[in-house]
Amino acid sequence: MMSKPGFFSKLGSGRNRSGAATALAPISATDIHARVELLNNFEDLRLGWFWATDSKGRLVYLSNSAIEVLGGDRDVIIGKSISDFFVPDRADDPDKAERPLPFLISARNSFSDLPARLALPDENLEVWWSVTGKPQFDAEGEFVGYRGAAKDITATRERERDASRLAQYDGLTGLANRHRMEKRLTATLTAYKAAKRSCALMMLDLDRFKQVNDTLGHPAGDELLKQVAQRLQKVIGDDGEIGRLGGDEFQVILPDMDDRGGLGELAQRVIQMISQPYSINGNRAIIGTSVGIAIAPYDGIDAEDLVSSADLALYAAKGGGRGQFRFYSSELKEGARLRKQIEEDLRDAIHQEQLEMHYQPLVEAGSHKVKAFEALMRWNHPDNGWISPGVFVPIAEETSIIVDLGEWALMRACRDAAEWPSDLGVAVNVSAVQFANENFPSVVRRVLEATGLAAERLELEITESVFMADPHATKRMFDRLKKLGVRLALDDFGTGYSSMSYLSRAPFDKIKIDQSFVRGATEDNSSNAAIIRAIVSLAQALGMITVAEGVEAKDELDLVTSFGATLIQGYVFAKALPQAEVLERLQEGRFAYEIVGPSKHRAERKTVFRRIGVIHEDHRYEAVLRNLSRSGAMIEGILNVPKGTDLVLDLGEGQLVVAKVRRSNEATQGLEFETPLVSDGADGLCTRHRISPYALAAAGMPLQALPPGYYPLVGNDRQDGPKSRPQFMEVQTSMGSSRSN
């Protein structure tokens, strides 16, 4: 059967069936039949569709092929509002149109190539149309509806999305890249400033990642980064967006988070997860991470300031010994400057004899007699006073200084120990950098020969981080050291890199139980006691002795002793002493140590000395903060404050703490906090929440990140009505004089 010739068949050739040329037959603008046939053919080719509405926005026409896409029932579709067939734009969709379709139609605006997603029964199916429309008016100027066209742009959109994804996401890990994270952070902070919302930012980089690249190769490093990304996604989940900025740097945006307690816990989970061993092509790799945290609007209003604050916090976390988190504070800027100064001064410290070695006794659990001393380095800086080894040792490890520093410490400790009775040993800490140095056994041998100390009296304390290097090289180093006759101790056992395989492979003589397990082990509901018992049992099974570090109270001493710990180290017996005091005690024959620590462990209370604000009712006083714990503090400077009085401490930088007076003696008060403080990631404490800069702006201060110092009585500066009279007298504790406020 011969088909009826269509419109295109009429135009398809300029010749008749015999092949002879025919005259051109153009379509006239008044040839309605031909034009309709042309439109029908266009619709049948599914290159696009036509639609029309009445004045109320109801569909009066839609191409058949478009109706098939929407469900195929013309009677249901015709008469509905055209907006019903498209998914509304999400407010958080970065690709949404500037003006949504319903708005344009209600405003009777023309629009062209507007992307819109069809509302289909299967929500997982994405079909996108490009919609064009123009309002129509009758001769009297009355609006009669829209006439328009549409076409399927799904494939084009997918290609654009793929191209956009390549531009916004890291090709190795699949995480957002630096460009996307910068864009998202800027957009988030801009929107959140208007809405007065908070947003936290975490900055991370990997500790010892370079060593994995160097020992296992770059393909292994790439695989490690993929696994790190997967672990981060597991910890963060839907709470934030994770990005890889490049190399081993990562960033996490956490909307609506400003609880520093919760953020600290999250950072700790990240650190623990990242620090677990990795299996890469049959090899075992161990890394760690450091985390810096800043929160908008407290630590920065815009993206640049917030990133800078988080970077400073990360820098401080790495400087504090790695494997730690830090919150930003204004003090970190000064800390960064000081850290740079320390790095410069440390090189001269050895030659100018600013460094000293102090010795803390390792006491036998049963007899309380000293069996050895641990050598602990001290630095008395001529300008900055005593600087903690927790500050300068990590700096030394990042430079070549650690090699000279480690050799000096080894030489000084062995020389001092040679003056002690021959049955007392000395333990010296060895950094992972020293341990990895091929010349280290030669250094040890040379020191022993120079000082005359018997090899069995020297004990090298090594942390578990040494096992992340080449396992064959590590084993060779252990073998070479044991041939010298020295003893080996595994320090800080259980703090992040523990593995039973270490103990079976390495020739350790001793395991040191980290003080983080001892601290709080006597408290109710603490799992630390079970961990200590397990470590002691394991060591006994392997024929190793154990040292419980950081024992400060008698109840802790009784606990670790009952579990079978061999040696005790901590303030319960003695702090580290200089060589002169050690020799004096030994010469007097005082080998046994008495218990000098408190009877019971209590929440750690930090001794401080700084001025703070104290708010009572409408009045603000100045006082000195003497000590601080999570649950309370001691202040000095306000006379005769009755027990039970409610106070608010202003600790600076927007930190307000509600407290109740529990003890009072003249100008000194002991306070209990309504809400416990949380760790700031360093050696300090901070409040969970702070005064919002938005509240300060409402009180008259400019909108800015929280500046250093103390603030006025935000929310309590009543302008209407009389203020109460001050009830207490403020005392100038530094000068001993008093004055009324």
Structural element, H or E, at residue 732: strand 729-732
Residue, of 473 and 61, whose pLDDT is higher? 61
* pTM for the structure as a whole: 0.62
Q: Tens of pLDDT along 699-732?
A: 778 888 888 877 766 545 555 555 667 888 888 7
Structural element, H or E, at residue 159: helix 154-168
Q: What is the pLDDT averaged over residues 300-329?
A: 89
Question: What is the distance between the terminal CA atoms of the chain, rounded to a whole angstrom?
Answer: 110
Using CB atoms within 10 A of its CB, is residue 400 exposed (0-12), middle (13-18) or buried (19+)? exposed
When mean pLDDT is compared across 330-339, 359-368, 526-535, the lowest value belongs to: 330-339
Give residue 150's identity as a one-letter amino acid code. Answer: A
Residue, of 456 and 598, whose pLDDT is higher? 456
The two tokens of residue 691 are 């005064």
Query: Cβ(575)–Cβ(555) under 8 Å?
Result: no
Question: Residue holding tokens 């009826």?
Answer: 4
pLDDT for res 242: 97
pLDDT for res 10: 39
pLDDT for res 12: 43
Query: Cβ(519)–Cβ(550) under 8 Å?
Result: yes
Q: How far apart are CA 388 and CA 158, in angstroms?
A: 57
Tell me: pLDDT of 650 over 80.
Answer: yes
pLDDT tier for residue 658 given thresholds of 50, 70 and 90: very high
Q: Tens of pLDDT along 501-532?
A: 667 677 899 999 988 888 878 887 788 899 89
Tell me: pLDDT of 100 over 90.
Answer: no
- CB proximity list for 412: less than 8 A, separation 6 or greater: 357, 375
Asked whether the CA dihedral 154, 159, 164, 170 is positive or negative, the reply is positive
Structural element, H or E, at residue 206: strand 199-207
pLDDT tier for residue 98 given thresholds of 50, 70 and 90: low
Q: How far apart are CA 689 and CA 313, in angstroms?
A: 18
Alpha carbon distances (Å) from 237 to 231, 232, 252, 266, 375:
10, 8, 11, 11, 45
Residue, of 502 and 576, whose pLDDT is higher? 576
Q: What is the pLDDT averaged over residues 129-134?
A: 91
Q: Tens of pLDDT along 103-121?
A: 888 888 899 888 888 888 7
Q: How much of the chain is helix, strand and coil, in % rounded to 5?
A: 35, 30, 35
Strands 143-152 and 128-137: antiparallel
Share above pLDDT 70 across residues of the chain, in percent, rounded to a whole number: 89
pLDDT for res 607: 59
Q: Tens of pLDDT along 465-481?
A: 777 666 778 888 999 99
Q: How far apart are CA 321 and CA 343, in angstroms?
A: 15
Share above pLDDT 90 across residues of the chain, in percent, rounded to a whole number: 47
Rounded mean pLDDT of the chain?
Answer: 85
CA angle 197, 200, 204 (to 5 degrees): 165
Q: Tens of pLDDT along 146-179?
A: 999 999 888 888 888 777 777 788 989 999 999 9
pLDDT tier for residue 409 given thresholds of 50, 70 and 90: very high
Task: Map out the domains of the chain with their CATH numbers.
Answer: 29-156 (3.30.450.20), 169-329 (3.30.70.270), 355-587 (3.20.20.450), 606-740 (2.40.10)
Q: How far apart are CA 34 and CA 39, in angstroms?
A: 9
pLDDT tier for residue 741 given thresholds of 50, 70 and 90: very low
